[in-house]
Amino acid sequence: MTTTAVPATTRKDWSSDQEVRWCPGCGDYSILAAVQMLLPDLGVRRENTVFLSGIGCAARFPYYMSTYGLHSIHGRAPAIATGLATTRPDLDVWVVTGDGDALSIGGNHLIHALRRNVRMTILMFNNQIYGLTKGQYSPTSEIAKVTKSTPFGSLDTPFNPISLALGAEASFVARTHDMDRQHMQETFRRAHEHDGAAFVEVYQNCNVFNDGAFEKITGRDVRAEMLVPLVHGEPIRFGAEREKGVVQRSDGRLEIVDVAEAGEDAILVHDEHREDPGLAFALSRLAHGPYEPTAIGVFRAVERPEYGAEMARQIAATQERRGLGDLKGLLRSGATWTVA
């Protein structure tokens, strides 16, 4: 809208005057801080930034931002964002959601926003539990989870959100976690740069209803051994001495090996631009749950036509060909006759 230089801002400029009401110790605080501290670096304007959400703890996020914001209804944020992003290409549209909001009640909207590649940055806080409704199991909870609604243990197989997004034809898929601000910011920055729908899963600790869900992989002392950073163009290695790596067997299976034994050349080099999502899918399933070495970072970032831009292109091409719409002509587009 405005053409003058983007004013310099600080975290404070992106914080609203509303008191943050998450439980003390909630992982959401560090994600909020990461976003508020990143935005001054992105060269964007507050008035052109919109945070949209559905329902759940994560969905309160827009109230704490000093941008435009819309806290909507359960699961529908990607649908609402689609209408906003396609009519207002000048805006930065962020969707903040949770595992229940995005994968349960809103699963349909998420997968379709991803396949259409509508320009929006989706941050999905995954804490593997329902927080706002006080502790029922979620679609990412592990099997046999005992909660208020599953006193004998849950029966359903959980979703793997990264696998789901890849299966939904997402053009940008990443994972990060609430214990590492720098990794979050780098991942969010990449997601924001992406021209299309960007999906970021954020492992987030709910210290009230599912405390420590990710501590086996994100704890400071275990992180080096349990998180497998994906860096484009580099061999996929991890461990305190980067002594472990991922190799692909001849049957397509991925396996974690000692680099010394397998040889450096055998280690898989990460390519986030691969057209075929198969390898990214395999990487998303390196761990069976947050207790085994788990890949984080950008799984996939490919270029694909953005939905809103394509919609605008069709309109522009039609107007080029037919001229701007003429209402009088429209009403006369069928047969007409005159009565004297």
Residues near another protein (CB under 8 A) are: 1-2, 16, 18, 45-52, 55, 62-63, 65-73, 76, 79-88, 90-91, 108-109, 112, 311, 314-315, 318-319, 322-325, 327-328, 330-332, 334-340
Sign of CA dihedral 207, 212, 214, 220: positive
Please, what is the minimum distance in Å from the beta carbon of residue 321 to another protein? 8
Q: Which is nearer to another protein, 87 or 211 (CB)?
A: 87
At its nearest, how many Å lie between another protein and the CB of residue 275? 25
DSSP per residue, 9-74: --GGGGB-SSPP-SPTT-THHHHHHHHHHHGGGTT--GGGEEEEE-SSSGGGGGGGBSSEEEE-ST
Cβ closer to another protein: 53 or 187?
53
Residue type, 214: F
State the minimum distance, in angstroms, from the CB of residue 246 to another protein. 35
Distance (Å, rounded) from C-alpha 144 to C-alpha 325? 60
Q: What token pair was written down for 49?
A: 């930034």
Closest distance to another protein from the beta carbon of 116 (Å): 9
Between 72 and 150, CB nearer to another protein = 72
Do 204 and 231 touch, CB atoms closer than 8 A? no
> Which residue, 159 or 299, is less far from another protein as judged by CB?
159
- Of residues 240 and 335, the one with the C-beta less far from another protein: 335
Tell me whether residue 257 or residue 311 sits nearer to another protein (CB atom): 311
Least distance to another protein, CB of residue 34, Å: 20
Which lies closer to another protein via its Cβ, residue 168 or residue 283? 168
- d(CA 103, CA 212) in angstroms, rounded, equals 21
Closest approach, Cβ 75 to another protein, in A, equals 8
- Report, in Å, the least distance between residue 148 CB and another protein: 24
From the list 278, 174, 177, 284, the residue with the least C-alpha distance to 232 is 174
Nearest to 225 by CA among 204, 253, 255, 256: 256
Contact in structure between 139 and 103 (CB atoms under 8 Å): yes
Of 219, 207, 202, 210, the closest CA to residue 35 belongs to 202
